[in-house]
Amino acid sequence: MSVDELVDSLFNHDGEYSKVEEAWLSQIKEYFNLGGSITKRTSRNGWQLIHIAALNGLDRVVEWLIENGADVNAQDKQGCTPLLLAFDLDIDGAIQSGKEINFSHTKKLIDLGADQSIENNDGESLESTASAYGKKVYLIYKEELG
């Protein structure tokens, strides 16, 4: 199975969030045990499995991937790290649901060793991304992560 086939199959799960995360973890472990590479990049955007897990808020999957050799600071074709993707997820998720921003996925990646200073190819960092969302988000960012 190629990494692209694995990624396609991961997105074919429906149901309760915790069950989806468990299904992803199970499939990724099986892929790994069959000799699949944790660091292989997808052909579409250069993401590794850790990017996809971070973008989807799958903290247990992210942790397992790092424990098994994934680079917490891996950059995709645009220079985005899993941390930048999780940061955007935390902000967008809160805005879309009308809840307060808590940066839970971002904090998890930082706890796992993610480097907050890495910028993408456009020079965007956590701080500049927070600033782009406006003063309220920027102040929350500074208080919780800055």
The structural domains of the chain, with segments of one domain joined by +, span 3-145
Q: Do 129 and 118 form a contact (C-beta atoms < 8 A)?
A: no
Residue with tokens 């996925």: 105
Q: In this predicted structure, what is the pLDDT of residue 134?
A: 94
pLDDT-derived band at 143, boundaries 50, 70, 90: very high
Mean of the per-residue pLDDT values of the chain: 89
pLDDT given for residue 20 in this prediction: 77
Most confident of 3-7, 92-96, 121-125: 121-125
Which helix (DSSP H) or strand (DSSP E) does residue 24 occupy? helix 17-33
Which fold, 3-145? Answer: 1.25.40
Structure tokens at 100: 């307060």
Task: Let me know if 25 is exposed, middle or buried by CB neighbors in 10 A (0-12, 13-18, 19+).
Answer: middle
Rounded to two decimals, what is the model's pTM? Answer: 0.86
